[in-house]
Amino acid sequence: MPWYTPRRHICVEPHGPYADRLESAGYEVLRQTALEALQVPREGHAVYLLDVIEHMAKDEGLEVVELSKCGARQVVIYTPYGFVKQEGDAWKMGGEFWQTHRSGWMPEDFPGWATMRHDIGFYAIWTA
């Protein structure tokens, strides 16, 4: 399966201190949630949701997964295998709300996607 290489890399980060850190490292950042950012139609892009969907309630995560495919060439998701409890902010940047795990995911949640186990989680990959 070939990887799509985007010409532009945009980070989506709703927590101000994390967004500031990304911007200071030179990244372009949308200060929004994934659900908000994916409301804008785009064509020919790739979406990488790495350690993201487990921080949402399952219904919101499912909506983000579906929206991520709209107009995309490829979607790559990495999430823990099943529910893994997490609270607090390891970076000590006030992001406790954003770091809390609210849902657990399994490969069966991604029918028709390629999945592969890695470490404590798995990748789910969808290609148009």
Domain contains 4: no
Name the domain count of the chain: 1
* Residue 75 neighbours by CB under 8 Å, 6+ apart: 46, 47, 48, 49, 65, 68, 69, 124, 125, 126
Exposed, middle or buried: residue 124 (CB in 10 Å: 0-12, 13-18, 19+)? buried
For residue 76, the domain's CATH number is: 3.40.50.150
Q: Which of 3-7, 84-88, 117-121 bottoms out in mean pLDDT, i.e. has the lowest?
A: 3-7
pLDDT of 2 reads: 63
The per-residue pLDDT for range 48-63, each reduced to its tens digit, is 999 999 999 999 999 9
With respect to residue 64, please indicate whether it lies within any of the assigned structural domains: yes
For residue 65, what pLDDT is reported? 97
Q: What is the mean pLDDT of the chain?
A: 93
How high is the pLDDT of residue 98?
Answer: 96
pTM for the full predicted model: 0.90
Structural domain containing residue 115 = 44-127
